[in-house]
Structure 1
């Protein structure tokens, strides 16, 4: 009998900072059995601050700047919650993220960095760009430096961060005769000893950066920074590297603080022993140190060991930071200054050294080790062929292939019941109940994500697709849930998350009951009824001359197959999830006059369109260039990524398509896909003006489906 270690403890990492990124990597290589790991971060990536000046100067691409937390979470076996934590309740042991049920924890760690006072400056929220969070700043700068023709840039804050940004901006814009101003209420770089300060001031002068010292900012305008003495500093890109401060919600947790930062001791625990804090949001009470990334990086192994100790009853390690550290400061071009213990040097070799250190740090996340279990030496005949050249993916919700499904269904006897309307191949059963026409459907998905909340949203949208496709209104739903093995406490937490999410995402249907069990992994099923207030829309009504419309882009199977192999960009994965959970009730109302309709799911666009054509006795032509695709899907398809169901879907004799990556996506199994409808041509023009409605082809004579 196979032994599966149950989950008994929840560990939640709040924030994707440098320390937590390193902890996730270590966890993937040596997880603690029985612990369910969660990481909460506002977006799919965590920019590496050490390379930000190099990115601003143009030495690094955006991809090189970012740690992909989606890939890293997959490697660590963690669920990534893409959202911003807004509160922590240490009594109830829950964390609040807007738009979802509270997240329970047994042990938590906080690594959210700091924020900026700059948005509180008059006009800054409208016309300024804070340097933190780094991701938002990097995106805005990337757009500005490529479009500005007569750039005028101002940096508020003359510390080392502001000076690095000013030099990087001046270097990046050097061919456009830029005006770059560095503004400080005191003296620029006054925290440095004279040798280092003089070299930095020389570097600023060489790049033409104008120093504006002893200056108080009154407000920020669209084209200038207005000082209190009335001076206007021309700027159409104003950023701020001053006024760093802790996040406001940190103070509301109720833990000990020092100037707004969480006080931690030698074990990196706060005043609550179940909450740890690291990086810039923490204050080392036993040995205070400046806010610097070097300390966050060196805290990582101590945090990793101490989290494991707290979760398993082991012994903790004490963290003692070094007294001083080498500061490597970018000087715009490929030159850097090194400073330690009052000694300073500058030059190109120091840039190469800094570049080597930074790239070595990022290489840890770009080349994650393969942690696969080896296959047995001896296996039954057919195992290798069934497995294929990649693991069984969840891009299709682990559905059975079309051939196997239709072969099994063909053996069923026809029903003789008068209250069942027989529609072979349609999306859902049609029942006559008390004079009403009722739709009945069921869907059951293996998890494509280990986040129960996101998986509940995906399942609800996917299951409701059958109801919406027939023009019905959702009525009632019954939940069928299989959980991984876990303790009673974690069972309650997980079922609560799922049921609360389901209740809010059923398109107006009521969740009226369900059944739960435990197994090897998370699966969620829904049986849903709907009421047809008018004639149901089936597969069989398409006419020659109708126009084909689609309400969601294609590509989820390919993207999720790639995500399971850590080959998809995190941003593309989160964008894919967003499409998958988009409800289709509005789209269904727009298509209420469709002659035939289905939702695009496991058989792919090609298979589901072939189903309409077969039921209606017509053919179809689809223009490949008009089919909307999810971001990243085409590149992955071009790289040869395919979902597990792809071969079965591609082997459809009714469909003709070229051997291209674009065409391959037409056979890509979708989860939570959009609606595909045949509509009167007269209605097409009006529908084409709606968002999320794409005209992709036509219904034609014949019985084949052609993509070209």
Structure 2
């Protein structure tokens, strides 16, 4: 994550990762505006480029070639990436309502979420048709359809409803790919029959006559049966029914028509057109609210209505970015006028394409190669990202804040106090904490519900108090997710000892800034933390928040345990199996992340694992007779294993091939990208009996990789190990694995031996 050099004065929130917003991110990466922070809220980390989607379906491109990595692009742009879905807007409080997190505050908001299918308008379509839009959902549906075709025996009929350019391209790509799949399996491709439906009587009605004729010839040559001028009014499991009374037997139906805006927009009070799209002025501001912008398919430019085509969304990216920057700086906005004519390159699935612009029509394989070159060049702008210079963006002196903003910035950073004067203001803190609700516990006698100088907590008879503390700086730009991970990490030691969490006291540092921004940051971070603490039954009872250059958070956590049943590190026994509940690799992945050397889905997966509580895992290990346990964190797997073997008086044999790894960790290790803590952890290699022989193994470096909110490492009786792993996987730890065995202590001073079983 990137730490801004000056306080945040304006928050621009981008909802959706469409073609316009990727342009905004790239523009702000090249020309950032001091004091302005971008936040992208997107349900999907990888957003597809619609122009290459038919080529992906046809098999000409890989998944990554047709998707823009939004998390990586946001990191490049210095923007925060919130992996969530917007479900509403509270315009009065200027907040975006999200599905799985607290509302996100904005000063300016831009919406670029594409369109959604209106399947409910046609009886049975929502149950039996496969919608192509929103495009972000299409990949999973397409892969499922591909697998069904591969497994199908006998004749099969596939229909596409919608004969615009997108529907025609999809139909031809589907036919090309699916028939090739059957040929590869030694089946007759003629078993597949294809039908194209549209309510319009004319194919490609927005294109010129020669384009329509060329495409009609292609469809005829490919033996695709066309049903035009008779709208589909009902869809059943095996048939399409039209308004004219005809029906057609089909096995699969894809829907490429009747798209509109998502239902939640209706509750925002924004002016919408009849299809539910947001009405915008020439500045791309909404007609209803100067603080909200819209672009791409979701926008309907009142003075310049255009068909829904990716070319317009792409062209809106730069003017949208400029007007967002101007609005943030209080400057007059500039109108945007979309082109009246545009180039459309319509592919036919078999590396052949038809060009259409006004009255011009061209066709051939050379047109497909032209389209391919244009598409790849476009994608390279967003996926082939250069390393940013240290002073990137400083040259944009035009973006100096207004006098009022500059004065506000100076007052926010000048003469910051030390000592107790560095505390975050009590008003800011109390407002933020008033919005969260820690769990209530009867054994908390004095806590946040009745604040005092310290908390008072009762320890029940027969229980002992377990105490631990953890603290670290933020490594991800989403404060809510960071708060969740910080709390989860701090609870790890409690669960590793077989204890139940009781109370937590927070310690945080927050960068100085404008009060409203600091309050929102504290609220987001502590909301995430309290969600995790509450789920664990752990009451937040107090804490301390001070100013610092970087965002950081930690917790002193108290737990309760029956002393006779506590799990300790020194209980390993010869014959035990070593079990690890979660995969390794957070150190190398988050060293690679700011260098733009990861894929967004790798980071998504890592963050998901880091938010996975060890509570259920600990209970499962106890149920299967675990003799010893610890959580794997900063010292890495080897460091924590040494902490177990030496006091237990045993040796272990560790199987490198059995170690579970996070997606992408092997790739970043292979590039030599290591955590800054790795060199200190490597000093423990003297604990390895055969480290010289095994040092060349590709997984060797993972032994020293520091983990954040890592899994549990436990010694379990061998006869319980397989059942324990199976139970762990059923309880939400899919990569839990047996990684080694415990043996009697030998003569060698090094307690850990390495093998590679595969």
The verdict on a shared fold, with TM-score over 0.5 as the criterion, is yes
What CA deviation, in whole Å up to 9, does each residue of 1:35-62 have, x standing for no partner? 2221011111110011111111111111
Output the TM-score relative to the length of structure 1: 0.88
Q: What residue in structure 2 maps to residue 567 of structure 1?
A: 597
Q: What residue in structure 2 maps to residue 627 of structure 1?
A: 659
Whether 2:486 is the aligned partner of 1:449: answer: no
Shift of residue 705, structure 1, vs aligned partner: 1.1
Whether 2:680 is the aligned partner of 1:648: answer: yes
Whether 2:578 is the aligned partner of 1:548: answer: yes
Distance 1:126 1:641 in 2: 47
Whether 2:696 is the aligned partner of 1:680: answer: no
8 A contact 2:485–2:529 mirrored in 1: no
Q: What secondary structure does 1:591 align onto?
A: helix
Whether 2:358 is the aligned partner of 1:341: answer: yes
Shift of residue 600, structure 1, vs aligned partner: 0.7
Q: What secondary structure does 1:329 align onto?
A: strand
Distance 2:364 2:549 in 1: 57
- Out of 239, 250, 257, the residue aligned to residue 242 of structure 1 is 257
In the TM superposition, what are the counterparts of 1:160-309 in structure 2 within 5 Å?
160-175=165-180, 176=182, 177=189, 178-187=192-201, 189=203, 191=205, 192-217=207-232, 219-221=234-236, 224-225=239-240, 229=245, 231-236=247-252, 238-259=253-274, 260-270=276-286, 271-309=288-326
Shift of residue 686, structure 1, vs aligned partner: 2.1
Q: What residue in structure 2 maps to residue 671 of structure 1?
A: 708
Distance 2:715 2:227 in 1: 65
Shift of residue 353, structure 1, vs aligned partner: 1.6
Whether 2:553 is the aligned partner of 1:557: answer: no
Whether 2:707 is the aligned partner of 1:637: answer: no
8 A contact 1:188–1:211 mirrored in 2: no
Q: What residue in structure 1 maps to residue 78 of structure 2?
A: 77
Distance 1:222 1:663 in 2: 53
8 A contact 1:4–1:485 mirrored in 2: no
8 A contact 1:663–1:707 mirrored in 2: no
What CA deviation, in whole Å up to 9, does each residue of 1:652-673 have, x standing for no partner? 1112452222222222111110
Distance 1:336 1:648 in 2: 57
Distance 1:612 1:225 in 2: 66
8 A contact 2:504–2:556 mirrored in 1: yes
Shift of residue 699, structure 1, vs aligned partner: 0.7
What CA deviation, in whole Å up to 9, does each residue of 1:139-189 have, x standing for no partner? 332454467346642211122211110011112223331322212234352
Distance 1:188 1:605 in 2: 66
Residue segments in structure 1 that go unaligned for 5+ positions in a row:
376-430
Q: What residue in structure 1 maps to residue 539 of structure 2?
A: 510
Q: What residue in structure 2 maps to residue 356 of structure 1?
A: 373
8 A contact 1:557–1:670 mirrored in 2: yes
8 A contact 1:460–1:526 mirrored in 2: yes
Q: What secondary structure does 1:91 align onto?
A: coil
What CA deviation, in whole Å up to 9, does each residue of 1:477-530 have, x standing for no partner? 111111123210011111111222222211111111111122221111111110
Distance 1:454 1:353 in 2: 43
Q: What secondary structure does 2:579 align onto?
A: strand
Q: What residue in structure 1 maps to residue 752 of structure 2?
A: 705
Shift of residue 648, structure 1, vs aligned partner: 2.2
Distance 1:221 1:634 in 2: 47
Distance 1:317 1:434, change over 3 A: same
Mean alpha-carbon deviation: is it higher for 274-283 or for 117-126?
117-126
Q: What is the RMSD of the two structures over their aligned residues, measured on CA atoms?
A: 2.2
Distance 2:711 2:504 in 1: 20
8 A contact 1:145–1:172 mirrored in 2: no
8 A contact 1:462–1:673 mirrored in 2: yes
* Structure that is richer in helix per residue: 2
Shift of residue 218, structure 1, vs aligned partner: 5.3
Q: What residue in structure 2 maps to residue 59 of structure 1?
A: 60
Distance 1:167 1:254 in 2: 41
Distance 2:372 2:4 in 1: 47
Distance 2:34 2:627 in 1: 54
Distance 2:698 2:239 in 1: 49
Distance 1:309 1:190, change over 3 A: closer
Q: What residue in structure 2 maps to residue 475 of structure 1?
A: 502
What CA deviation, in whole Å up to 9, does each residue of 1:302-355 have, x standing for no partner? 111111111111232211111111221112211111112233221122212211
Shift of residue 121, structure 1, vs aligned partner: 4.3
Shift of residue 206, structure 1, vs aligned partner: 2.1
- Out of 482, 485, 503, the residue aligned to residue 458 of structure 1 is 485
Shift of residue 681, structure 1, vs aligned partner: 2.0
8 A contact 2:85–2:100 mirrored in 1: no
Whether 2:510 is the aligned partner of 1:495: answer: no
Q: What secondary structure does 2:646 align onto?
A: helix
Shift of residue 434, structure 1, vs aligned partner: 7.4
Q: What residue in structure 2 maps to residue 135 of structure 1?
A: 136
Distance 2:556 2:120 in 1: 49
Mean alpha-carbon deviation: is it higher for 575-584 or for 205-214?
205-214
Output the TM-score relative to the length of structure 2: 0.82
Aligned residues, how many? 651
Distance 1:437 1:704 in 2: 32
Q: What residue in structure 1 maps to residue 559 of structure 2?
A: 530
Shift of residue 135, structure 1, vs aligned partner: 3.0
Distance 1:129 1:624 in 2: 44
